[in-house]
Amino acid sequence: MRRSGSRTILLLGAVVALAVALVIFLLMNGGTGTNAQEQPTPTPVIIKVVAPKEDIKQFTILTNDNLGLVDVDQRNVPTTTLNLVNQESVGKMVLRDYKANEPVVTTDLQDPGVPQLLDKGKRAFAVAIQEINTFNQSIIASDSIDLIWSRKFIISAYTVPPGGGTAEKVEREAWSTKTLLQNIKVLRVVPLRTSSTTGTTNGVNSSQSGGNDAAKADQALQAQFAATAPPTMVLILSVDDQQAEVIKFARENGQLDVALRATGDDEPGTTSGITDQILVNDYKVVVPDLIVK
């Protein structure tokens, strides 16, 4: 009887041990049946984001040439990535190194300082211009311009009267105009006009106000284009030392005007400059005769 009881106890112990082992096995494998089945893999959501085409270093300026779009899984990139190569990325400076095809995030971008925009050997030079030269405030960074200079000269000469006698000094004013510098790159634009006056007076639409307000709005608009009007824009230009000297002298001793170049046009032009004599000789301008009555 003792031997039979011992066998029974051993058998029960073995059964309990197997049950415990089975429970442990099931727990480690996630249970049985539908609970043990693997969850389906989520479908990737592919989007295009902005990334450099090749490795770039810290403080590199982003351009259309070094940026492109790459396909990534939306779940694997932060929400601060960019989806278009536009003004939010082009012209910005990266604050760290980037590997090729690494998504660019906005927190790594900032506007570069003027020194970062300059090529080696170039200098930044500021020129204030009047409204007539802003092309309705449409000049932007990366545009290229030509600078045209006009100056009034005082021409002196001594003439002897037809009947003889003492020579007399004669003075007259003569204007000369010439394109001084060509293909000057605009680095930055600083608008000085705080608000447009076109069609409004003190924030009131002139079409909804009386005739006096409309007249004042017209006068304010016309005043912006007067010869004595204050500047409404500052251009930060990329020039060399010699060009900086030319611009400084020209603006202090005459009148500077801006000619805006077409995008991508960097071909130099050849001009003769203009004086009264050139207009008469080359452009056949007729000089009226002096008629004595």
In a domain, 12, yes or no: yes
Together in a domain, 107 and 133: no
Which of 70, 97, 112 delimits the end of a domain?
112
Residues 130 and 105 in one domain: no
User: Per the domain annotation, does 214 fall within a domain?
Assistant: no
Q: pTM here? A: 0.66
Contacts 24+ apart (CB under 8 A), 121-125: 121/240, 122/238, 122/239, 122/240, 123/238, 123/239, 123/240, 123/241, 123/244, 124/187, 124/236, 124/237, 124/238, 124/239, 125/236, 125/237, 125/239, 125/243, 125/244, 125/247, 125/248
The whole-number pLDDT of residue 50 equals 95
What pLDDT score was predicted for residue 9? 73
172/78 same-domain check: no
pLDDT value at residue 199: 43
Do 144 and 276 have their domain in common?
yes
287: in domain: no
pLDDT in tens, 200-214: 444 444 445 556 888
Model confidence pLDDT, tens digit, residues 71-111: 999 988 999 999 988 888 998 999 999 999 999 999 999 99
Between 36-40, 75-79, 129-133, 276-280, the lowest mean confidence (pLDDT) is in: 36-40
Query: With bands split at pLDDT 50, 70 and 90, how would you rate the model's confidence at 30?
Result: low
Note whether residue 208 is domain-resident.
no
pLDDT for 272 beyond 80: yes
Q: Is 81 exposed, middle or buried (0-12, 13-18, 19+ CB in 10 A)?
A: middle
Number of Cβ within a 10 Å radius of residue 98: 22
Residue 129 shares a structural domain with residue 242: yes
- Tell whether 133 and 272 lie within a shared domain: yes
Between residues 198 and 260, which one has the greater pLDDT? Answer: 260
In-domain check, residue 216: no
Range of 196-200, 203-207, 285-289 with top mean pLDDT:
285-289
Looking at residue 204, what is its pLDDT? 44
Whether 180 and 137 map to the same domain: the answer is: yes
Per DSSP, 195 falls in state: S
Last residue of a domain, one of 68, 95, 112: 112
Q: Of 112, 135, 161, which residue is a domain's last?
A: 112
Average pLDDT of every residue of the chain: 86
The count of structural domains within the chain is: 3
Are residues 19 and 97 both part of a single domain?
no
Q: State how far the alpha carbon of 45 is from the alpha carbons of 49, 70, 75, 79, in Å.
A: 12, 13, 7, 14
Asked whether residue 133 falls in the same domain as residue 106, the answer is no
**Domain of 24, in residue numbers:** 2-31
pLDDT of amino acid 25: 74
Indicate whether 129 and 184 sit together in one domain: yes
Asked if residue 222 is part of any domain, the answer here is: no
Asked if residue 201 is part of any domain, the answer here is no
What percentage of residues in the chain have a pLDDT greater than 90? 57
Same domain assignment for residues 179 and 277: yes
Higher pLDDT, 182 or 201: 182
Q: Does residue 165 sit in the same domain as residue 269?
A: yes
Average pLDDT over residues 177-205: 76
Question: Residue 61 sits in a domain of what CATH number?
Answer: 3.90.1210.10
Q: Is 219 inside a domain boundary? A: no
C-alpha closest to that of 75 among 108, 42, 99:
42
Distance CA 52, CA 69 (A): 8
